[in-house]
Structure 1
Amino acid sequence: MEKYLIKRKIDTEICENNKKIAIYAGVGIAALGAYFAYKTYKKIKNNQEEMQYIDNENYEINNLRDDLEDKELKEKIDEFNSRRISSENCEDAEQNEVKQYVDSMKEDKENVNINESEYNKEKYDEYDE
């Protein structure tokens, strides 16, 4: 009987110890899981913020490039238009003056003397071998 009581007492102690060990192990594993989940969440959140920041920077850079291109294009257009004679940019110019200017340009174009003999030669014929 003593043997039986000792065995029963040892079994109950082992069972209680096993329960404690299982509880502590479960708490430890849960704590580790929560820690890694927190770290992963923070890393994902930081990556999302970095991607959003990069996207915003790229958007701003593209807008600056577009603005610069628009400014350059506007400058070129203004320069081209400033060289033109029209009643829009030159209030003193009347329609007759503009027509006279255009006609004189046409006459100059028609009266240009082109020496065709210069253009008939091939470039390579001018060089010695």
Structure 2
Amino acid sequence: MTVILAVAVLVGVLAVATVLGLLLRAKTGRARTTTAPGDAGTVADLAPSTAFGTRATLVQFSTPTCARCPATARHLDSVAARHDGVTRLEIDLAEHPGLASRFNVLQTPTVLLVDGSRTVRTRFGGPPR
């Protein structure tokens, strides 16, 4: 392999990695509307009914090793405090690992916006923006 070919391969790999990184960064933390049927569409069985807000609940899935989860929790608490009937509910996936597959949680934090009837309306993969 010549030096020119090696440099060209290296530049190509760096270009692909950069494009993939930018795409991932653009998608992380963005709201995605969900229309999930079945178990993934409702969160009524995650906690007692008193843990949910009357208007909305911000359900945060986190793990003990998640570096971004404490800051996300503070941010969601401040959002909930500004709106009547909105609460935050944190679910530790280390204690409930089956919920990760049920709600398709691929990263922590993942936040679900749940309406007053406990139906998932929006999800954020990563810290919400």
TM-score, normalised via structure 2 length: 0.29
Structure 1 or 2: more helix by fraction: 1
What TM-score do the two structures reach when normalised by structure 1?
0.29
Which structure has more relative contact order (CA 8 Å, sep 6+)? It is 2
Q: Which has the larger Rg?
A: 1
